[in-house]
Amino acid sequence: MFDLILRREARLHRLMRDEVDLPEIIQKFLALSVLGLTIHGVVLGLAASLFSPSPSLAWYQAGHPVLWMPLALIAAFLGALCICLPSFYFYTQLSGLDASFRLVTAQALRAQATMSVLLMGVIPFYTAWLLGTVVGVFDAPGTALFAGLCLPFAVGLLGIRAVYRGFCDLAEHLPVTHKRRGHFLRRLVLCWGGVYTVVAPVALYRLGEALGSRL
């Protein structure tokens, strides 16, 4: 699946056209999503625990961040996805593509899995920044930690791009329910990204507060 996401997009397109293969693909996308978010959360939580206690870092250092940070990231990103899935399905049908709910779920998890795979590629560089901040080479640990929370959203833009390319392929094979106007796929993917971007940060902040006070 790593290879399909990074280098063999055309083959992944073909696999996702077949409804029979979708359950297995969804499971693998979900596993990749959890793996990337877990690794990133552990790195963030470990760095937060190594920084000297500070009022400006109170949110990051509450409880045991190495425990609750991965849980907050996983629950926020995948929970937001579950909340947004009905809207994703509605926007897809509104655009004229007769996609099943299973296919919409697979495309949404494809964005998450792509984000996680690329995030694992960025983590070594981000970890170097964090270690430099821990030993005093760089200042502003709060900025470093906040950048870490924003990093999945920045890398997630490439996941949105993967979804757009996936729908461009599917548009040539899915039944059309009504006539569509120009650039409808761009509007579809922008609606997906807009809804998700509103829900996920709020979920991450609230879950971080709740879990930080308990773990």
pLDDT, tens digit (0-9, with 9 covering 90-100), for 153-211 = 888 888 888 888 888 887 777 777 666 666 777 777 888 888 888 888 888 888 888 88
Report long-range pairs for 152-157 (Cβ below 8 Å, ≥24 apart): 152/37, 152/40, 152/73, 152/77, 152/115, 152/119, 153/197, 153/200, 153/201, 155/115, 155/118, 155/119, 155/122, 156/111, 156/115
Q: How many helices (H) and strands (E) does the chain have?
A: 8, 0
Closest CA to 113 of 167, 177, 156: 156
pTM, two decimal places: 0.87
More confident residue, 43 or 95: 43
Cα torsion 61, 65, 69, 71 to 10°: value is -140
Residue type, 50: L
CB 90 within 8 A of CB 82: no
Q: Is the pLDDT of residue 99 over 70?
A: yes
Note the pLDDT of residue 178. 65
pLDDT single digits (tens) 15-44: 888 878 888 989 999 999 999 999 999 999
C-alpha–C-alpha distance, residues 35 and 118, integer Å: 12
Concatenated DSSP letters for 130-165?
HHHHHTTSS--HHHHHHHHHHHHHHHHHHHHHHHHH
Q: In whole angstroms, how large is the CA radius of gyration of the chain?
A: 19
Note the pLDDT of residue 72. 92
Note the pLDDT of residue 181. 64
Note the pLDDT of residue 71. 93
Note the pLDDT of residue 3. 84
pLDDT single digits (tens) 31-83: 999 999 999 999 999 988 888 888 888 888 888 888 999 999 999 999 988 88
Residue 7's Cβ-side half-sphere holds a number of Cα atoms within 13 Å equal to 2
- The helix (run of H) or strand (run of E) holding residue 15 is helix 9-16
